[in-house]
Amino acid sequence: MPADHPKQTFDLMYYVKAALAGGICCSVTHGAMCPVDVVKTRIQLDPVKYNKGMLGTFRDVVSSEGAGVLATGLGATAAGYFVQGWFKFGGVEFFKIKFAESLGERKTWEYRLGIYLASSAMAEFIADLFLCPLEAVRIRSVSDPTFPKGLGAGAARMIQTDGILGFYAGLGPILLKQVPYTMAKFAVQGKAAEWFYTSMNKKPDELSKSTNVSISLASGVVAGVAAAVISHPADTLLSKVNKAGAGGTGSTMSRLSNIAKEMGFVKLCTVGLVPRCVMIGSLTAGQFGIFDTVMDAIGAKKFHIHDPDAHH
């Protein structure tokens, strides 16, 4: 067992607590960001009409459709991201600890970047299988004014019009967006947090709870901006491909390549990027901060990979 946890066993209860904390942190942060996401999706879907930036588009959308429209997709967002956070954060802890147990303390430290990347990729893949149907309903409800706004009614409509496979039409782009995004998020956050602890010459259990949460928040901002930049082209494609008729007919991949050609590489990488950096930076900081706070509140001591030669 890793040495900074001599009394703690990482049993099923630990993983359930980590999954619960992950579900809560993702649901709360994505739910709170719902108005920003509605506006961001509008800018991505119709940049010609919504060309006044984030605040201008906010005003336009509210004045033409009422403030209630900013809560569009809130049910699907909160439910979808609770499920996704459960598998993502719970999965990252599970895979990270299993790698650490099998490799031993020194190799775990040497291969820590690979462990962050592999753990987050595997956890995200599993989480996306659960998120994809809810995300399809959410994007359809934001982009199609005639589509039912409730999660249950929206899902029923999608089954009627698209069949069960309709829920997974966006799986390819979701994986293309979410897996690199999550790998960047956890790897950069891990390295940034490590840098903070090293520069202070302290281990997490030598610092106060509030200091640890502050480090989680700060490293979360760095991780969020890095992850937003890396995953932005796929996020734009995902918003577009769920819009009825976008990219012509044919398979999802052929529609995606049509959309990419129409937009061009620079636009794919830059349209809506600034609001997304603001959104994902604050979202990620919030997630890591809430995750640590909930873990602490339910009595789970978070697993940290640390240098076995430090502080001996």
**Predicted local distance difference test score (pLDDT) of residue 76:** 74
Could you read off the pLDDT of 151-185 as tens digits, one per residue? 788 889 988 888 888 888 878 878 888 898 899 99
Buried b (16+ CB within 10 A) or exposed e, 150-162: ebeebbebbeeee
The single residue listed with the structure tokens 């462990």 is 115
Residue 311 within a domain: no
**Predicted local distance difference test score (pLDDT) of residue 246:** 64
| Positive/negative CA dihedral, 132, 218, 281, 183 | negative
Domain that holds residue 98: 12-297
Alpha-helical regions (H) of the chain: 12-32, 34-45, 53-65, 74-103, 105-110, 112-143, 151-162, 171-200, 209-241, 252-263, 265-270, 273-297
Contact criterion met (CB below 8 Å) for 81 and 27: yes
Residue 306 within a domain: no
Name which of 126, 239, 113, 251 is nearest 179 in CA terms.
Answer: 126
Could you read off the pLDDT of 202-247 as tens digits, one per residue? 888 888 888 988 999 999 999 999 988 888 887 777 777 666 566 6
Residue 309 within a domain: no
Residue 7 within a domain: no
How many structural domains does the chain have? 1
Contact criterion met (CB below 8 Å) for 33 and 279: yes
Residue 102, judged by CB atoms within 10 A of its CB (0-12, 13-18, 19+), counts as: exposed
Q: What is the pLDDT along the chain (312 residues), one digit of tens a residue?
A: 444 444 467 889 999 999 999 999 999 998 888 888 788 778 877 888 887 877 888 888 888 888 888 887 787 788 888 999 999 999 999 999 999 999 988 999 999 999 999 999 999 999 999 888 887 887 788 778 788 877 788 889 988 888 888 888 878 878 888 898 899 999 999 999 999 998 998 888 888 888 988 999 999 999 999 988 888 887 777 777 666 566 666 666 677 777 777 777 777 777 778 888 888 888 899 999 999 999 999 988 888 888 887 754
Residue 125 within a domain: yes
Residue 2 within a domain: no
> In degrees rounded to 5, what are phi and psi of residue 211?
-65, -45
Residue 220 within a domain: yes
CATH number of domain containing 182: 1.50.40.10
> In degrees rounded to 5, what are phi and psi of residue 4?
-80, 5
Residue 33 within a domain: yes
Residue 251, judged by CB atoms within 10 A of its CB (0-12, 13-18, 19+), counts as: exposed
Tell me the Ramachandran region of residue 245: left when phi exceeds 0, alpha when psi lies from -120 to 50, beta otherwise.
left
